[in-house]
Amino acid sequence: MNYNWNWGVLFEEQYLNWLISGFGWTISVALSAWCIAIVIGSLVGVGKTVPNKVIRGICATYVEIFRNVPLLVQMFIWYFAVPEMLPEDWGRWMKRDLPNPEFVTAVVALGLYTASRIAEQVRAGIETVPPGLSAAATAHGLSTAQTYRYVLLPISFRIIVPPLTSEFLTVFKNSSLALTIGLLELTAQSQQIAEYTFQGFEAFTAATVIYVCIALVATILMQVLEKYTRIPGYVGKEA
Amino acid sequence: MIDIENISKWYGDFQVLTDCTTQVAKGEVVVVCGPSGSGKSTLIKCVNGLEPVQQGRISVDGDDVTAKGANLTALRSRIGMVFQHFELYPHMSVLENLCLAQEKVLKRPRAEAVTRAEKLLDRVGMADHAAKFPSQLSGGQQQRIAIARSLAMDPIAMLFDEPTSALDPEMIKEVLDVMVELAQEGMTMMVVTHEMGFARKVADRVIFMDNGAIVEDRQTAAFFDNPESERAQDFLSKILDH
């Protein structure tokens, strides 16, 4: 193979700035989407366990739709199809006046998709709590809302920290799909550097290293969270 | 105080309670016994509305539990309940276990709730363990805390659902001691248990259930010395001999 290695391009000011900017967009998209996903995922996950059948049905439908359609398709639908389906004024606003349309669309698409996955984990966490505990809370006069707030959710969120860690890592990796709707995040910037310099190996190696570093930091953060919220002697091994 | 009138309950097609009627007067201690699957636990879970009934009426201190739209949360906060598997909140310290419902349901100020909790922990001999978590304690200790947690709500009556069945033999006594003391202080109690020694010592009446029906409902001495039904005679001969 005849390839001229040149790691130096990565540190040329223009390309370095592209990488930094891409890194910034990746972090922004992933963290914004994560916030949406945690809020909606928790609500939908709780909704799948409440006694009311209508709410359970709505939440189950949400999960099945958003979890079963490929994320890439969802990105395209939000970006290309939704503005056409809305009333004309709204659609025009989305296409013309929405600030940072690629960013906003990517955050919404990734957030709602990840929410459906988090909802399933929240539901599973709640169902793992022994039923006797909510019976005890009910027997002491706590309302259904209070039982969730003080007993079911604090326990189930601790139980699901490990699977949530995987989900947290996935949201960074999935954010790379935003390049398909034109957001210049990390993968898009690497691709651009490769096209400008013909140094594809270096460009994508840089992206790889940055993704791995993000993942390591995210994992460490979640481990700290797990350790900090651990119930003494309850679940998991003692650290 | 507790009035159970002709209640029947089904799970699907399966009838778990058949036309049960009994009363528990204020300050009375009633033991409910019978073979497993006879509906004892279900019966007392109906008293605080944890299990709905399809027929009949239950009232506690004049409040109808079975009425549509009954304010069950208010009613439940006045009836203590102790479970077979303790059901302490695992993510809270012992002290917080005792304070949660006091603060959130009774709206007691924090300081008052803590004072009440500490007093009750002292009473059940657990004052030194207030900062521990449930999983760091033995079953007997956990059950004593569960009793204290219910007492913190100043209940007008206490329900016990096989409180010693999940305990190692040497821990049963420490829990029964607390219950005996409570009975002697005049607490109204309905106790599902197989501890016949406890029944003899403190129960005013014994209810014997079989197949979802109340077969005998008699004064304690009469029940043990002279059970009427063959089913109760058979049951007693099996559990008293061993």
**Prediction ipTM score:** 0.89
The better pLDDT of the pair B160, B238 is held by: B160
Angle, alpha carbons B197-B203-B205 (nearest 5°): 120
Which among B221, B223, B222, B242 is positioned nearest to B231, based on CA atoms? B223
Q: What is the mean pLDDT of chain B?
A: 91
On chain B, the residues whose CB falls within 8 A of the CB of A146 are: 104-105
CB-based contact B87 A132, cutoff 8 Å: yes
Q: What is the mean pLDDT of residues A140-164?
A: 93
CB-based contact A140 B101, cutoff 8 Å: yes
Q: What is the mean pLDDT of chain A?
A: 92
Share of chain A above pLDDT 70, in %: 97
CB-based contact A141 B101, cutoff 8 Å: yes
On chain B, the residues whose CB falls within 8 A of the CB of A233 are: 133, 135-136
Q: What is the mean pLDDT of residues A189-204?
A: 93
Q: What is the mean pLDDT of residues B76-82?
A: 92
Q: Shortest CB distance from B104 goes to which of A136, A138, A142?
A: A142
Share of chain B above pLDDT 70, in %: 99
pLDDT(A233) > 80: no
Answer for the pair B236, B200: CB distance below 8 angstroms, yes or no: no
Confidence band, pLDDT 50/70/90 cuts, at residue B242: low
Q: What is the mean pLDDT of residues A234-238?
A: 55
Length of chain A: 239
pLDDT(A56) > 60: yes
Which among B127, B120, B83, B74 is positioned nearest to B98, based on CA atoms? B120
On chain B, the residues whose CB falls within 8 A of the CB of A136 are: 81, 83, 87-89, 146
Exposed / middle / buried, residue B134 (Cβ in 10 Å: 0-12, 13-18, 19+): buried
Q: A112 CA to chain B: closest CA distance, Å?
A: 30
On chain A, the residues whose CB falls within 8 A of the CB of B104 are: 142, 146, 150
pLDDT(A92) > 50: yes
Confidence band, pLDDT 50/70/90 cuts, at residue A239: very low
Q: A43 CA to chain B: closest CA distance, Å?
A: 21
Q: A119 CA to chain B: closest CA distance, Å?
A: 22
pLDDT of amino acid B229: 87
| Separation CA B227–CA B232 (nearest Å) | 6
pLDDT(A2) > 70: yes
Q: What is the mean pLDDT of residues A223-232?
A: 87
pLDDT one-digit tens code per residue, A93-142 = 888 888 888 999 999 999 999 999 999 999 999 999 998 999 999 999 99
pLDDT one-digit tens code per residue, A11-41 = 988 999 999 999 999 999 999 999 999 999 9
pLDDT of amino acid A230: 86
The residue of A128, A140, A160, A238 whose CB has the most chain B CBs within 10 angstroms, and thus the best one to mutate to test that interface, is: A140
pLDDT of amino acid A3: 85
The better pLDDT of the pair A235, A63 is held by: A63
State the count of interchain CB pairs (< 8 A) between A and B: 76
